Structure 1
Amino acid sequence: MTETQTSAAGGETRYRIAVDTGGTFTDVVVGASTGKIAVGKALTTYDRVFTGFEASVRRAAESVGWSGDEVLRNADVIVYGTTHATNAVLTGKVAKTALLITSGFADTLLLREGGRRDAFDSKAAYPAGYIPRHLTFEVEERISAQGEILVDLNEDAVRETLRSLADQGIEAIAVGLLWSIINDSHERRLGELIEEILPGVPYTLSNEANPTIREYRRTSAAAIDASLKPLMADHLGNLKADLLEFGFQGDLMVVTSEGAVLDVADVLDRPVLLLNSGPSMAPLVGASAAPERETVVVCDMGGTTFDVSLVEKGVVRHTREAWLGEPFVGHLTGLSSVAVSSIGAGGGSIAWIDGGGLLRVGPQSARSTPGPAAYGRGGDKPTVTDACVALGYLDTEGFEGGFTLDGDAAVAAIEANIASTLNMTAQEAAQAIIDVSANHMATAIRQASLEQGVDPRGALIVAGGGAGAMVAAAIGMLLEAETVLVPATAGVLAAYGAHRAPIATEFVSPLSNDTQNFNTATAEVAITELAAKAKAFTARFSHISSQAETKFFVDARYPGQAWDLRVYLDTVPEASDEAAHLIESAFHAEHDRRNGTHDPASRVEIITWGARVEIPRPEQYQLDDADTAVEETHRVDDVIFGGTSFKTPRYRGVTLGPGSRIAGPAVIDQPTTTIVIPPEWDAQLDDRSNIYLTRKEA
């Protein structure tokens, strides 16, 4: 039964809640079965995530006259996105995890894939592996690339090792054996022994975490997944318990790195899917806002980070090269995820003076506790938010974050830490903070787009996040963009993406093949198994939608290539020579599109087969538009742009409607964000209340 049918049958309004828990704010989008939508924002609470979540829901509900209690109790679905898993990996605050690995391969996580940040620095030391060497244990066994058992598993030695792990306080175990993707019998047996000797200790087998031919990625995915299991079981378990105690009886779904959602039970089985889950949602809004544009650059600026992603002709770009931390020295899972580049540049990013006397902004963040100085919660370091307060961008009297901004504290922090050192006024220092921050973000956009062969000057910039609309025009100016789009849901961009996200997952089979010597038997096994898994997954969510779509793909390469390309197939491949020709043609076309060249005479090596299943969720909700576009100002403030003060009208976003036109300088105050329109820019609302900022003609 769909959510609308539930509402009709029950005779009462039902709700769908989407939440994005960031480093500073928790954003919420609530949709009612009546078609109405509400948005809210509150400070993130780290000790108990439900506290900030509940506050956000109540703020959203109260903004449209609903009861917060009723919304939570009558919600059919809650979609939860979080950066908790990513932050835990980056900070090392994960479970104490052991690694069981084939004898002779103990340095797999240390050596990674052999790259270096500086190719000419031959003396660069490898940073520590994700699991330290003293917690890595070699297992006597060996399986060949053809699946033949060359060395039997030494179970006696394994039992002795597992007993020693109990004395070391091990909280989770990762298993990564060579060629387990071809023959998983030894990995499965290790799992049985772990359950026998260490009952209750969570573990992950590499052939289940990421069944890829590349041993580092497979082992890394298993290590990260295992280390997250206790943490995320506690995190999501507490959230679910708090929701049940409150009276929630619906489905709890969780945002994954693939830009989709899954049932909480599926995510607890594979918490590695939670990495970068929050940032993966914003591109969905960019894709729907301008599906006809050749290239859209989506920017999501929250309180802690600035995230950049690309959308091409309405399709969100994905990658399997998403490093956690710096490339080559961070950690890599090799799993498909939305391609997002992040830097430490958010509203809470702290401004500071380096040893050379230069102004820096970030990557350190004040987060929600203590927060920027303007929050009045004990913070005394100047941040981008404080600079926005000092320049007059933010309305200290009408800020809707659940508290009042302290303008004097913001100015004092800037004066004490920045202005006095640089011999500037507080306003000059605030402008410098904004300029440095905007340049950081423009550089991040250039890097993310140019690396993919996209010129940002010809792309549409979509700016969102709680702080993104304040610097959207400044970023557009630096990128020489003529137009910047601020979506109607800009302040809760990722949460609204989660609200619209489909239920989706991927299944892969590591049965390799070759288009020149095509093995129809293994191809048939791969295709049949993938089709069966896709069918079973679809059946689980038949009550949500009957419009499931399954797309088959292959990861393939030319012989001798180091890396492969993912190629989606237009039809379901049949295990015949025709499939080989189909895959060859599709690969040549994709290689030409991505690299500007292809070799039509070459055979193609198939590394893995795969299927992506996507189940759209019914869309019954829409943002309310104002009945009339009155375009009324509620105040005129002195706001500083480029070091000059302007008499600047402030508009309340709720009074604006489709077609409204506003000439800069101006500020639009919305419940979850503030849109700053400099003197050189104008703004206009489209028929969906999205705001287009355009540069005035010189």
Structure 2
Amino acid sequence: MSAVQTQPGGGETRYRIAVDTGGTFTDVVVGSSTGDMAVGKALTTYDRVFTGFEGAVRRAAQSVGWDGDEVLRNADVIVYGTTHATNAVLTGRVAKTALLVTDGFADTLLLREGGRRDAFDSKAAYPPPYIPRQLTFEITERLSAEGEVLTPLDEEQVRSVLRTFPDHGIEAIAVACLWSIINDVHESRIAELIEEVLPGVPYTLSNDANPTIREYRRASAASIDASLKPLMADHLGKLRGDLLQFGFDGDLLVVTSEGAVLDVVDVLDRPVLLLNSGPSMAPLVGAAAAPERETVVVCDMGGTTYDVSLVEKGVVRHTREAWLGEPFVGHLTGLSSVAVTSIGAGGGSIAWIDAGGLLRVGPQSARSTPGPAAYGLGGEEPTVTDACVVLGYLDAQGFEGGFTLDHDAAVKAIETRIAKPLGMDVLVAAQAILDVSGHQMATATRQAALEHGVDPRGALIVAGGGAGAMVAAIIGNILEADTVLIPATAGVLAAYGAHRAPIATEFLSPLHNDTRNFDSASAASAVKELGKKAKFFAARFETVNPDAQFSYFVDARYPGQAWDLRVYLDGAPDATGDAARQIEDAFHAEHDRRNGTHDPASRVEIITWGVRVEIPRHELLSDEVTVTGESVVHRHDPIVFGGESHVTPRYRGVTLSPGQHIAGPAIIDQPTTTIVIPPEWDADLDDRSNIYLNRKEA
């Protein structure tokens, strides 16, 4: 065991670890109190996440001469990102959950917000609700829209229903009473009855899960949150237990869908915040890499998925329309999350031939087990990774992941499953797999950009993820982009984003108001209550950073509009002053920016008041770039680009210097990714070793 590293001023070096557990690889970024950084990868271990996490930390530590045990024990903070909650919801592997609703509203989850792909197809069957109808129980109670009790809660009925739950095998309970956002007296009483009749059974109240006026989103958020509580308590509990056994006694933070992190205790209390959290970190790196650019399109390609997100003037785009599954027929919580479009197109995506004889790629993935054929772990299906091995992109001997790639196995998989059935050469088949995958990713990128009014041809494309740098130029070609940025930390894009992410959350108050008939008393009450909650939350993290940032906003709409728009304000609105005019002006401007039109003569309806609390964490990593020596071409390989073989130099990325120019074709082997520079592209390193791929002039 090596000696403990010491800081210049004496004392042991402390560490911050950020981990992103993906479908294929677990990525880590380790920062030290000396400003140094190490990165590592290991295959994700589904049975016990700590195994893959520990392996990645050890590989990162080994790469810079640190001791893995000391890194784990001396970590002050571990930031953990996972897709576990999202995958559980999509596959239905969640706790058996019951839903208690107001009498007459048992079909809220069935009808959703339309419940059909085609709103005019009245014959289409509704897809199954998140909680089955037989586990949805109508409770006698009713409040008015003003919060007046119209029908008292039938407490004996609630007790009677709850007593049947052990026979149903119920593991969690969701409660969604009508108008609980105005008066939560009945939901709160039901919570007391649950604790009385079924002590220890986890439950979620809709007013806590998502206090919104939209009934379906409230009920859906509560249902999903409740169903995740036993699962995530077990998942995060095992991780915490393994860390404690290893001697870790620091803070465990968890990545949320808001593009931020929260203490593990907060997440266990509200696990719905973990949905879609996996891809939320990559945009933070895109925003930091090019803060001056008008629009940045961030493309994150891992082993299982390809994720696209947008950054506008350094601000990451958020949405409250993040469906789990297909829009209108999947599930929706209505909570704010980073706007991400995801498709099943990663390095592990499987190539196959459909019934019509056409080549397809994905969405099925080989994942980490058995993995692509080239991993030599039993996989026999050809994948995008196998195609890259056959074409020569990946260095079989220098692959980061704890094993050597099997070139022959990759050739056999493509030859057997694709080349022979289609009557083509193996190299041609491998190129076809890459081309099909590239077009799928470019199409997803174009669609995501255009849906938000962004022309990808004029935007900066930022590509990352373990496989993103291999196909960045291919995507750039299809999108007609002249420049693609590969961040220095591209191979661990999400983990690096988690390293920098702030601690943040939102508080909401769903009080309706009108700018032309403004109720200043209710507005003042809402703003005051939000301020108290925000300051209490910030006070918990004063030791992290006493200078918390508060961003007030409203969700508002023009009268008659079906959907509302989130509008951020310049400071806390002064309800006794010009708050109504401030909100109107801000809404008109935002509506014009987002939709290309506005109505300055119209009044504005306020649906929700809110505040976002953000606690920036101090930067641990240095921007200084360490160069280990002269630029090294460690060999020349025959690499296939667009069906033609080129003798191509392979550079060791750690030896490249800021400002260096590399003419294509070339390959740059980084510790956690491979950067492919086709013949029609060049590469230039900036002063932070970010790599810009630039298309050569014709």
Q: Same fold (TM over 0.5)?
A: yes
**More displaced 10-residue stretch of structure 1: 539-548 or 256-265:** 539-548
Deviation at 1:628, TM superposition (A): 6.6
- 2:514 and 2:10 mapped to 1: Cα distance? 56
Residue 177 (structure 1) aligned with residue 166 (structure 2): no
Deviation at 1:512, TM superposition (A): 1.3
Q: Deviations over 1:93-137 (max 9, x none)?
A: 000000000110100000000153234433211100000101100
Amino acid at match of 2:126: Y
Deviation at 1:572, TM superposition (A): 1.4
- Asked if structure 2 preserves the Cα contact closer than 8 Å seen for 1:488 and 1:689, the reply is yes
CA 119–154 in structure 1, closer or farther in 2 if over 3 Å, else same: closer
Deviation at 1:278, TM superposition (A): 1.5
- Asked if structure 1 preserves the Cα contact closer than 8 Å seen for 2:115 and 2:127, the reply is no
- 1:212 and 1:267 mapped to 2: Cα distance? 20
Query: Match of 1:348?
Result: 348
Query: Match of 1:259?
Result: 259
**Secondary structure of 2:439's partner?**
helix
- 1:70 and 1:276 mapped to 2: Cα distance? 32
- 1:123 and 1:629 mapped to 2: Cα distance? 69
Query: Match of 2:379?
Result: 379
CA 541–7 in structure 1, closer or farther in 2 if over 3 Å, else same: farther
After TM superposition, list the pairs within 5 Å mapping 1:33-112 onto structure 2: 33-112=33-112
- Asked if structure 2 preserves the Cα contact closer than 8 Å seen for 1:629 and 1:659, the reply is no
Query: Match of 1:364?
Result: 364
Deviation at 1:57, TM superposition (A): 0.4
Query: Match of 1:135?
Result: 135
After TM superposition, list the pairs within 5 Å mapping 1:456-535 onto structure 2: 456-535=456-535
- 1:451 and 1:7 mapped to 2: Cα distance? 50
After TM superposition, list the pairs within 5 Å mapping 1:303-452 onto structure 2: 303-452=303-452
- 2:590 and 2:136 mapped to 1: Cα distance? 40
Query: Match of 2:3?
Result: none
Deviation at 1:620, TM superposition (A): 2.7
- 2:255 and 2:381 mapped to 1: Cα distance? 33
Amino acid at match of 1:589: A
- Asked if structure 2 preserves the Cα contact closer than 8 Å seen for 1:85 and 1:232, the reply is yes
Query: Match of 1:680?
Result: 680
- 1:92 and 1:278 mapped to 2: Cα distance? 18
**Secondary structure of 2:341's partner?**
strand
- 1:615 and 1:624 mapped to 2: Cα distance? 25
Query: Match of 1:3?
Result: none
**Secondary structure of 1:399's partner?**
coil
**Secondary structure of 1:408's partner?**
helix
Q: Deviations over 1:515-569 (max 9, x none)?
A: 1111111111101100001111111000001221001100011111101111111
- 1:154 and 1:120 mapped to 2: Cα distance? 39
CA 537–571 in structure 1, closer or farther in 2 if over 3 Å, else same: same
Deviation at 1:398, TM superposition (A): 1.1
- Asked if structure 1 preserves the Cα contact closer than 8 Å seen for 2:628 and 2:654, the reply is no
- Asked if structure 2 preserves the Cα contact closer than 8 Å seen for 1:629 and 1:660, the reply is no
- 1:345 and 1:327 mapped to 2: Cα distance? 19
Query: Match of 1:543?
Result: 543
Amino acid at match of 1:270: R
Q: Deviations over 1:248-271 (max 9, x none)?
A: 010000000000000000000000
- 1:117 and 1:188 mapped to 2: Cα distance? 36
- 2:228 and 2:139 mapped to 1: Cα distance? 23
- 2:492 and 2:592 mapped to 1: Cα distance? 37
- 1:380 and 1:408 mapped to 2: Cα distance? 12
Amino acid at match of 1:83: T
CA 629–293 in structure 1, closer or farther in 2 if over 3 Å, else same: farther
Amino acid at match of 2:348: G
Q: Deviations over 1:458-515 (max 9, x none)?
A: 0000000000000000000000000000000000000000000000000000111111
Amino acid at match of 2:632: E
**Secondary structure of 2:175's partner?**
strand
Query: Match of 1:636?
Result: 636
- 1:657 and 1:500 mapped to 2: Cα distance? 24
Deviation at 1:55, TM superposition (A): 0.3
- Asked if structure 2 preserves the Cα contact closer than 8 Å seen for 1:37 and 1:624, the reply is no
- Asked if structure 2 preserves the Cα contact closer than 8 Å seen for 1:101 and 1:136, the reply is yes
Residue 298 (structure 1) aligned with residue 284 (structure 2): no
- 1:373 and 1:11 mapped to 2: Cα distance? 47
Amino acid at match of 2:504: A
- 1:473 and 1:495 mapped to 2: Cα distance? 23
- 2:664 and 2:172 mapped to 1: Cα distance? 57
- 1:616 and 1:20 mapped to 2: Cα distance? 20
Deviation at 1:629, TM superposition (A): 6.6
Query: Match of 1:223?
Result: 223
Q: Deviations over 1:121-155 (max 9, x none)?
A: 33211100000101100111100100000001111
Q: Deviations over 1:367-387 (max 9, x none)?
A: 000000000000000000000
- Asked if structure 2 preserves the Cα contact closer than 8 Å seen for 1:554 and 1:568, the reply is yes
After TM superposition, list the pairs within 5 Å mapping 1:262-273 onto structure 2: 262-273=262-273
- Asked if structure 2 preserves the Cα contact closer than 8 Å seen for 1:629 and 1:658, the reply is no
Deviation at 1:336, TM superposition (A): 0.3
**Secondary structure of 1:369's partner?**
coil
Deviation at 1:624, TM superposition (A): 5.5
Query: Match of 1:572?
Result: 572
Deviation at 1:626, TM superposition (A): 3.6
**Secondary structure of 1:258's partner?**
coil
Amino acid at match of 1:672: T
- 1:9 and 1:397 mapped to 2: Cα distance? 40
- Asked if structure 2 preserves the Cα contact closer than 8 Å seen for 1:518 and 1:577, the reply is no
**Secondary structure of 1:332's partner?**
coil
Query: Match of 2:194?
Result: 194
**Secondary structure of 2:76's partner?**
strand
Aligned identity (percent) is 79
Q: Deviations over 1:418-461 (max 9, x none)?
A: 00111011111000000000000000001100001100000000
CA 423–220 in structure 1, closer or farther in 2 if over 3 Å, else same: same
- 1:128 and 1:453 mapped to 2: Cα distance? 34
Deviation at 1:33, TM superposition (A): 0.3
- 1:508 and 1:119 mapped to 2: Cα distance? 30
- Asked if structure 2 preserves the Cα contact closer than 8 Å seen for 1:450 and 1:456, the reply is yes
Structure 1 unpaired stretches of 5+: 1-5
Amino acid at match of 2:439: N
- Asked if structure 2 preserves the Cα contact closer than 8 Å seen for 1:139 and 1:158, the reply is yes
Structure 2 unpaired stretches of 5+: 1-5
- 1:627 and 1:697 mapped to 2: Cα distance? 30
CA 115–126 in structure 1, closer or farther in 2 if over 3 Å, else same: closer
Deviation at 1:632, TM superposition (A): 1.7
**Secondary structure of 1:324's partner?**
coil
- 1:245 and 1:175 mapped to 2: Cα distance? 37
Q: Deviations over 1:231-285 (max 9, x none)?
A: 0000000000000000001000000000000000000000000011120000000
Deviation at 1:600, TM superposition (A): 1.1
Deviation at 1:75, TM superposition (A): 0.3
CA 61–113 in structure 1, closer or farther in 2 if over 3 Å, else same: same
TM-score, structure 2 as length reference: 0.98
Matched positions, count: 693
- Asked if structure 2 preserves the Cα contact closer than 8 Å seen for 1:110 and 1:126, the reply is yes
- 1:217 and 1:407 mapped to 2: Cα distance? 49
- Asked if structure 1 preserves the Cα contact closer than 8 Å seen for 2:115 and 2:126, the reply is no
CA 103–7 in structure 1, closer or farther in 2 if over 3 Å, else same: farther
Deviation at 1:9, TM superposition (A): 8.9
- Asked if structure 2 preserves the Cα contact closer than 8 Å seen for 1:668 and 1:674, the reply is yes
Query: Match of 2:149?
Result: 149
Deviation at 1:601, TM superposition (A): 1.2
CA 10–204 in structure 1, closer or farther in 2 if over 3 Å, else same: farther
Amino acid at match of 1:671: P
- 2:398 and 2:376 mapped to 1: Cα distance? 15
Query: Match of 2:209?
Result: 209
